[in-house]
Amino acid sequence: MAIPPVIFRFVALLGAIAIAGCVSPASNRLVRQTGESMVFIGDEPSVLAFVPEKNSPLQLRSTYLPGPAAIYYEEGRDFQVDYARGTIRRLPGSRLADFRSNILYGKVEFDHTKFPGFGNAAFFAFADYAIGTAVTWPVQSSQGERLRATRAKLTAGGPVKVLAFGDSITAGGDASVPGLIFWRRWADSLQAKYPRAQITAVNVATGGHNTTRGLQVLKEKVLDASPDLVLIGFGMNDHNRRGVTPPEFARQLREMIDRIRATTAAEIVLFSTFPPNPNWMHSSNRMADYAAATARVAEEAGCAYADVFNNWQTMAARKRPEDILANNINHPNDFGHWVYYRVLLAMEL
């Protein structure tokens, strides 16, 4: 379905609070972090992705988006910041949730199906802060040359149908509201950049699908829809212990590309995904192999590639998996969807 006007207005709000002033598009220099998520385990320090500017106060709240529904935590009452180390500590009597009461806390090799009610939503806090020394992030090469037809249609003000095809992450798994799904935010940014264009963004992704199942439903979901641009995001279900091997994963991605090109005039963006919680029993812990396969197929096929995997790893280098995973397993939270969105934006369509 087309993105309704209310979504565009919603994401325009996001632009004001989570984009402007944070990143220089020309250099991808991140100067301010907005809505960075974390959990607090007792009085252990939670680590920020970047060291904050000590002369600029850090704000911590209970929701990704600021607003009247958020609880705004108080420095000195609820938390303490070590600005030199880039850490936040929960204080005694704090209103911040203690992650030790999470049903999956401390579990190793866990099977999530045995823990009804799992998830991290009630334990997140979200931080806004100025970064002490600006960093280059995301590291993503321009893909404009591989998306020339789409750019021409957008510039001409014509209709552009974008399909998001893949697994539950692509479908928007655990984004708190539809407007925060990464590809919806990206489509909205394109609509703002090309106001004359008529962009329709459609979800044709399905939870639980891997590339094998994706090929089976490709005609129904993608080919028959006559898209102009297809975003393809698989890997999480392929990489499971009983999933699809990396060589077969690569072969099936390439078959998708070939069939889309044979039937439609659509351009294609492949994007990699992130490693799930390493304590989840179904993970093969080989997501790097699937990310490398995705990048290789994109290069060999000459289609656009968004490097979510390596940029996620950079963002998560100082953080726990629980800090960013909404379901504590394999779905990004709102901040994680922002990571995806920022990588797509850096393709410079």
List the domain range (segments joined by +) for residue 130. Answer: 23-136
Q: Given this model, what pLDDT does residue 26 score?
A: 55
Residues 185, 69 share a domain: no
Q: Given this model, what pLDDT does residue 3 score?
A: 43
Q: At 217, is the secondary structure helix, strand, or coil?
A: helix
Residues 38, 163 share a domain: no
CATH number of the structural domain spanning residue 338: 3.40.50.1110
How do residues 180-230 score in pLDDT, each as one tens digit?
999 999 999 999 999 999 999 999 999 999 999 999 999 999 999 999 999
Q: Give the up-direction half-sphere exposure of residue 70: CA atoms within 13 A in the CB hemisphere.
A: 17
Residues 181, 104 share a domain: no
Per DSSP, helices labelled H in the chain are 5-18, 148-156, 168-171, 182-193, 211-221, 246-263, 287-301, 308-316, 334-345
Name the pLDDT band for 23 (thresholds 50, 70, 90): confident
Domain count, the chain: 2
Name the pLDDT band for 22 (thresholds 50, 70, 90): confident
| Residue where a domain stops, chosen among 112, 136, 160 | 136
Residues 100, 153 share a domain: no
CA 232 to chain centre: 14
Residues 98, 178 share a domain: no
Considering the entire predicted model, what is its pTM? 0.93
Q: Given this model, what pLDDT does residue 256 score?
A: 98
**133: which residues sit within 8 A by CB, 6+ positions away?**
51
